[in-house]
C-alpha cells in the first residue's frame, strides 16, 4: 500500500463483504470518504470554482491535489449515489459540477491526463470512462457494473476548458485536441490527439530514457513547471491547434550538459517512418537523427513531426500494452542547455501534399 488511490481500489473490493479498515486516508482522500459514506455517514464534497475536485490535500499527498481521471469519474458517480441515498442535493450538485470539468476531456479521449504511469490500468480506466459516459447519456452501449448504480444520471454543469490554478487548458478543433497543464507530480505536461493518433503523455524526461521514474513534471507557478526529477529545471509550454494539427512552444531553463534532459512524447500509432526506415511497435530497432522529419502513421491518419531547432531526436518502439499508458512509441527530443525556446509541430499529412 503506497497511495490513497491504492487503498481506494482495495476498499472497493471490500464493500458489502466486510467492514472497511480504519485508516487516516479516509479523512484526507475524497474518493475514500465518499466510498465509506456509501455505507455509513455523509461527508461534504469539496470542489474548486472550475468544478475540479482535488482528491486530497497537496500537503499530505502532492499527486492527490490533481484530478486522477479515473478516480474523478468514480467520485462523481459516488456523489450522485450518495445524493440518491440521502436525498441531499448537495452531492448531486457537486457531481454535476465535477462532470462539467471532466466531460470535455472524456469526449476528446484525453483520459490519461494527470495519471501516473504506474497507476494507469487501461481496461479499468476505459470501463470507468464508459460508466461516466453512460451516466451523462453519451455511451453508445449499455455498461454493466456490479458496484455503481446503473440508473445514476448526471447533467454536466457547463464545460470547463481551463483552470488557471493548475495551468490547465484544453484546446480543440475538428479531429484535433490538446490538453496542457502546468502542475503535476511525476505526471505529464499534457496529452493530445490528431485523428486516430494519440499522444498519451508528453513532458520532460531526465537521462536515461530507460528509467521511467525520471519522467514528468512537478509543482508549477504562473505557467511554469519544474521537472519532477530535477527541481532546478523549469519549463513553460504553450499550444496552438488548427484543423491540420498542433504546435507546441516550449521554454526551458536550467538544463546543463552535465544533466541532459529530453522532452518526450509517448505515441499510440501504427508505425513511425524516418527516411527509408520504418519502425513498428515491439521491434528492437531505434532511430537517432538530427535532421529528418518523423512521419507518424495511424490507421487512418498520417502526421509529420518536426522540430524548429536542430536537436537530436530519438524514436524508440514500445510494446503498446500496459506500460507507458499503452503507448507504442517514445519520441524524444534532447533539449539545448541553459535557457532556450523549442517549437514542436505535429501536422496532418494530406494526400498529394508536398510535405508528405
Total-model pTM: 0.89
Grid-cell match 509529420, residue found:
304
Mode of pairing for the β-strands spanning 230-242 and 224-227: antiparallel
pLDDT at 342: 93
**pLDDT per residue over 241-266, tens digit each?**
999 999 999 999 999 988 899 999 99
Domains along the sequence of the chain with CATH:
4-135 (no CATH), 167-348 (2.70.98.10)
Question: What's the average model confidence in pLDDT over 105-114?
Answer: 92
Alpha-helix residue ranges (DSSP H) falling in the chain:
4-14, 30-39, 69-86, 89-107, 122-135
Q: Please, which pLDDT band fits residue 267 given cuts at 50, 70 and 90? A: very high
Amino acid at each position: 500500500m503506497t497511495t490513497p488511490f491504492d487503498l481506494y481500489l482495495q476498499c472497493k473490493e471490500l464493500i458489502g463483504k466486510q467492514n472497511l479498515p480504519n485508516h487516516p486516508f479516509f479523512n484526507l482522500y475524497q474518493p475514500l470518504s465518499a466510498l465509506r459514506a456509501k455505507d455509513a455517514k455523509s461527508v461534504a464534497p469539496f470542489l474548486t470554482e472550475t468544478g475540479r475536485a482535488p482528491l486530497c490535500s497537496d500537503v499530505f499527498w502532492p499527486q492527490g491535489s490533481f484530478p486522477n481521471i479515473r478516480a474523478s469519474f468514480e467520485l462523481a458517480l459516488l456523489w450522485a449515489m450518495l445524493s440518491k441515498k440521502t436525498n441531499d442535493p448537495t452531492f448531486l450538485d457537486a457531481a454535476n459540477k465535477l462532470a462539467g470539468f471532466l466531460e470535455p476531456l472524456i469526449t476528446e479521449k484525453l483520459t490519461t491526463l494527470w495519471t501516473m504511469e504506474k497507476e494507469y490500468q487501461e481496461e479499468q480506466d476505459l470501463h470507468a470512462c464508459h460508466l461516466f459516459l453512460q451516466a451523462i447519456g453519451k455511451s453508445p452501449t449499455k455498461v454493466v457494473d456490479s458496484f455503481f448504480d446503473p440508473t445514476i444520471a448526471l447533467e454536466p454543469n457547463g464545460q470547463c476548458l481551463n483552470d488557471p490554478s493548475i495551468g490547465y487548458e484544453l484546446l480543440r478543433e475538428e479531429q484535433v485536441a490538446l490538453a496542457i497543464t502546468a502542475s503535476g507530480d511525476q505526471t505529464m505536461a499534457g496529452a493530445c490527439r490528431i485523428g486516430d493518433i494519440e499522444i498519451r503523455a508528453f513532458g520532460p524526461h531526465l537521462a536515461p530514457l530507460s528509467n521511467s521514474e525520471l519522467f514528468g513534471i512537478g509543482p508549477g507557478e504562473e505557467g511554469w513547471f519544474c521537472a519532477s526529477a530535477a527541481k532546478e529545471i523549469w519549463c513553460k509550454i504553450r499550444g496552438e491547434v488548427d484543423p491540420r494539427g498542433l504546435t507546441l512552444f516550449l521554454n526551458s531553463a536550467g538544463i546543463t550538459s552535465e544533466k541532459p534532459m529530453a522532452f518526450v512524447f509517448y505515441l499510440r500509432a501504427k508505425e513511425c517512418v524516418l527516411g527509408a526506415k520504418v519502425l513498428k511497435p515491439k521491434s528492437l530497432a531505434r532511430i537517432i537523427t538530427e535532421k529528418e522529419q518523423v512521419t507518424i502513421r495511424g490507421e487512418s491518419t498520417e502526421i509529420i513531426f518536426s522540430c524548429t531547432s536542430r536537436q537530436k531526436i530519438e524514436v524508440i518502439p514500445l510494446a503498446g500494452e500496459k506500460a507507458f499508458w499503452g503507448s507504442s512509441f517514445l519520441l524524444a527530443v534532447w533539449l539545448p542547455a541553459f535557457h532556450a525556446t523549442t517549437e514542436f509541430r505535429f501536422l496532418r499529412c494530406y494526400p498529394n501534399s508536398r510535405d508528405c
